[in-house]
Amino acid sequence: MTVTNAELSDLIRFVDDIGMYATDRPINDTENHEGSCIHRTDFCDMTCYNMKLYKMYKAMADRDDRCETIWQKLSTFSAVEVKQWINKRRKPTQRIRHMTRGEAFKNLADVYRVRAMCLDNPDVLWWVPTRAWRNVNLRLAIEGLLMPLPNCAINASFDPSNTDEEWEWMQNAGWNIMFFGDDDRTTAPNGQRMFKCPKTHKGLKGHCMDCKAGCFAQKTINRTTVVHLSEH
């Protein structure tokens, strides 16, 4: 299926708050689509501010519904169309985020979609916070197909409901972690000090486009990064 420039401009919007282009998907079920946040925790259900925004702004949910239709049209063969769209942008496109709303990796097809975009756009760093690690098959696919790519920054999304055992699993597997939900917590269970996100702790609007630490840190042997996001 062909994805038009108009559709890509609907799917990939510029987000001033983080200073980069980003995609979105429906969080919960709609009339036309199943929601993408199928790997969420109970903590997500209790604290999701986007669900509150959905109730306030119906147009937001309607747009995310359109985004899902467009996202499903993307395939390993149409990712080159994303490259053509990127080349026409006037604003910086060195980094693009999946997703600001919703989950990037609902299923295995999504892993291949993101992989195709990474391979066809090697000059773009694709940033993907995700809870799909909670599904063992998706975790293994992400580790094998995406984490070796130099232009794919994968972050496992964690919250206070995650167990010490889950922390140990993911850090031992080499995942960078993005933690949200407890401003008083400063270390991981293994004692590693968390990196305070400058954008959320210092209010540096647009800082994500230029940040070289935290979510975008290069992993080293036996050392992963744990990013601490401040509460909203």
Check whether 27 has a pLDDT greater than 80: yes
Alpha helices in 74-205 (DSSP H): 79-87, 108-120, 136-145, 164-172, 198-202
Once rounded to an integer, what is the mean pLDDT over residues 208-222?
Answer: 79
Check whether 1 has a pLDDT greater than 80: no
Least confident of 62-76, 86-100, 172-186, 206-220: 206-220
Residue-wise pLDDT tens digits, 116-161:
999 999 999 999 999 999 999 999 999 999 999 999 999 999 999 9
Backbone torsions φ then ψ of 180, nearest 5 degrees: -145, 145
Residue-wise pLDDT tens digits, 58-87:
888 899 999 999 999 998 777 889 999 999
Model pLDDT, residue 222: 54
Q: How confident is the model at residue 232 (pLDDT cuts 50, 70, 90)?
A: low
Distance CA 82, CA 119 (A): 11
- Angle among Cα 32, 129, 144 to the nearest 5 degrees reads 100
Is 152 in contact with 117 (CB distance < 8 Å)? Answer: no
pTM for this entry:
0.93
| β partners of residue 193 | 187
